[in-house]
């Protein structure tokens, strides 16, 4: 018989084992979550989910089946299975047998020997042999979105309650990460479409004004020629050809700007760095361009597109108007949001008195619209001889919420 003392010690030991196992599980879950957060592409998130679930459960093989809105299997990813076996399974399995049965379940399913299960239909030729099984549904807001299939724990031994629990907890995080990635892709598509509409409007407005200007000049030239005032006709022709040259330069620069894109596999930081290096090249050696750009700016895809375009337009303005020795792009994370500053030490101007001439001045106005469209603010600080600073501030989503809460 055990004395009360040894029983206590036994209980304490057992308890401490449980606590340390739970700690290890929490640590693993936390690490899994961080790994998931690194991915932006849906396909990469899905692959991470299946790889991580295999590691967390100690399974030899893992698979992830994803459902579309109609409940049909739309993707099937595996982990731990070699190319040949993967090819024999085919692009998408038929979805019958245990695989199909899992997709209809709301609770996890554990089986010590798969072949004994009534739904088991055996494996196709070339498929690795599998013994123990753990299936965990992935649900988002009460709806089945897919299922995790784990087999052969430590080479075939049964999965236990702890394995089931950790994969179940992980599947909740996975569901959120998958949903986020899907939403992000949708926003990306929307951002590109909104951007196309805006650019076609800008091109239309800009070109319409340039062509209108050239037309007016051409009529004037005709009039001067009729009146035999050749000197005046020549002056106007010179202006016309300068305008055409400038329009051509701007179209080329516009194309460079459009070629630079942000996307799920291209960060804003990379896109800006690439644009600035090409811009330096276009600028030549007379102006120095400095940059301080953080790797991660925590912006949504719509905000990324707008910041990219604002920095591009500000830099174009410095090239066209500033005659600066130094231009700098500084992006910094502040307590309340992200601050983007493009400054130059050039000739400056009076922002309150931008001339309304025939020539279009859309840049500053469009930058303001872009910043405001994504919840940001836009300011220009400039004076003759004092350089120019364009400042855009995008508040953090949390600080916007708390500010709204205060009001």
Ligand X SMILES: Nc1ncnc2c1ncn2[C@@H]1O[C@H](COP(=O)(O)OP(=O)(O)OP(=O)(O)O)[C@@H](O)[C@H]1O
- Residue 57 interacts with, from ligand X, Mg ion, none (CB under 5-8 Å by kind): none
Residue 104 tokens read as 């209809």
Residues 344-403 that bind Mg ion (CB under 5 A): 363
CB nearer to ligand X: pick between 204 and 234:
204
Question: Residue 387 Cβ, how far from ligand X at the closest point, in Å?
Answer: 8
Which range binds ligand X by CB under 6 A, 17-25, 112-120, 181-189, 313-321? Answer: 313-321
CB nearer to Mg ion: pick between 267 and 316:
316
- Residue 354 interacts with, from Mg ion, ligand X, none (CB under 5-8 Å by kind): ligand X
Question: Residue 304 Cβ, how far from Mg ion at the closest point, in Å?
Answer: 21
Please identify the residue of the shown chain whose CB is closest to the bound Mg ion: 363
**Is residue 238 packed enough to be buried (19+ CB in 10 Å), middle (13-18) or exposed (0-12)?**
exposed
Q: In angstroms, rounded to a whole number, what is the distance separating the alpha carbons of residues 396 and 375? A: 10
Question: Residue 331 Cβ, how far from Mg ion at the closest point, in Å?
Answer: 20
Residues 259-278 that bind Mg ion (CB under 5 A): none
Residue 121 tokens read as 């239909």
CB nearer to ligand X: pick between 80 and 346:
346
Question: Residue 248 Cβ, how far from Mg ion at the closest point, in Å?
Answer: 16
Residues 355-394 that bind ligand X (CB under 6 A): 360-364, 388
Return the HEC string of 332-368: EECCCEEEEEEEECCCCCCHHHCCCCCCCCCHHHHHH
**Is residue 226 packed enough to be buried (19+ CB in 10 Å), middle (13-18) or exposed (0-12)?**
exposed
- Residue 146 interacts with, from ligand X, Mg ion, none (CB under 5-8 Å by kind): none
Residue 142 tokens read as 């009460």
Q: In angstroms, rounded to a whole number, what is the distance separating the alpha carbons of residues 208 and 215? A: 10
Terminal alpha carbon distance of the chain: 69
Name which position in 188, 312, 317, 382 contacts Mg ion (CB under 5 A): 317
Which range binds ligand X by CB under 6 A, 78-86, 146-154, 160-168, 315-323? Answer: 315-323
- Residue 42 interacts with, from Mg ion, ligand X, none (CB under 5-8 Å by kind): none
Which range binds Mg ion by CB under 5 A, 107-115, 149-157, 315-323, 335-343? Answer: 315-323
Question: Residue 292 Cβ, how far from ligand X at the closest point, in Å?
Answer: 19
Question: Residue 254 Cβ, how far from ligand X at the closest point, in Å?
Answer: 9
CB nearer to ligand X: pick between 141 and 356:
356
* Number of residues this chain uses to bind ligand X (CB under 6 A): 17
Phi, psi of 200 (to 5 degrees): -65, -35
Binding mask 340-359 for ligand X (x = CB under 6 A): ----x-xxxx----x-----
Name which position in 97, 321, 373, 391 contacts ligand X (CB under 6 A): 321
Binding site for ligand X (CB under 6 A): 317-318, 320-322, 344, 346-349, 354, 360-364, 388
Binding site for Mg ion (CB under 5 A): 317, 363
């Amino acid at each position: 018989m055990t004395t009360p003392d040894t029983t206590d010690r036994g209980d304490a030991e057992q308890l401490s084992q449980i606590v340390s196992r739970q700690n290890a599980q929490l640590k693993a879950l936390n690490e899994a979550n961080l790994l998931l957060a690194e991915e932006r592409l849906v396909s990469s998130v899905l692959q991470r989910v299946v790889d991580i679930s295999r590691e967390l459960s100690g399974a030899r093989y893992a698979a992830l089946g994803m459902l579309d809105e109609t409940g049909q299997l739309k993707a099937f990813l595996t982990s731990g299975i070699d190319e040949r076996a993967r090819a024999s399974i085919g692009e998408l399995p038929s979805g019958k047998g245990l695989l199909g049965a899992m997709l209809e379940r709301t609770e996890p399913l554990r089986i010590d020997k798969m072949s004994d299960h009534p739904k088991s239909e055996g494996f196709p030729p070339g498929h690795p042999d599998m013994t123990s099984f753990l299936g965990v549904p992935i649900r988002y807001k009460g709806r089945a979105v897919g299922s995790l299939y784990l087999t052969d724990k430590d080479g075939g031994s049964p999965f236990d309650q702890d394995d089931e629990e950790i994969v179940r907890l992980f599947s909740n995080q996975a569901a959120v990460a998958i949903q986020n990635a899907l939403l992000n892709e949708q926003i990306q598509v929307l951002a590109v479409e909104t951007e196309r509409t805006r650019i076609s409007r800008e091109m239309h407005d800009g070109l319409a004004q340039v062509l209108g200007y050239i037309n007016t000049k051409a009529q004037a030239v005709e009039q001067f020629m009729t009146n035999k005032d050749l000197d005046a006709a020549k002056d106007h022709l010179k202006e016309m050809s300068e305008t055409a040259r400038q329009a051509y330069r701007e179209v080329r620069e516009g194309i460079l700007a459009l070629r630079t894109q942000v996307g799920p596999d291209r960060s804003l930081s990379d896109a800006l760095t690439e644009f600035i290096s090409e811009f330096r090249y276009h600028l030549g050696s007379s102006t120095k361009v400095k940059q301080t750009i953080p790797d991660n700016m925590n912006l949504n895809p719509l905000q990324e597109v707008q910041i990219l375009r604002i920095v591009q337009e500000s830099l174009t303005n410095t090239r066209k108007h500033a005659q600066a020795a130094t231009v700098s792009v500084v992006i910094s994370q502040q307590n309340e949001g992200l601050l983007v500053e493009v400054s130059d030490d050039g000739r400056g101007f009076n922002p309150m008195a931008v001339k309304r001439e025939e020539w279009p001045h859309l840049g500053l106005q469009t930058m303001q619209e872009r910043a405001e469209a994504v919840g940001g603010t836009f300011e220009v600080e400039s004076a003759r001889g004092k350089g120019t600073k364009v400042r855009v501030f995008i508040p953090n989503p949390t600080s916007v919420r708390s500010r709204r809460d205060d009001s």
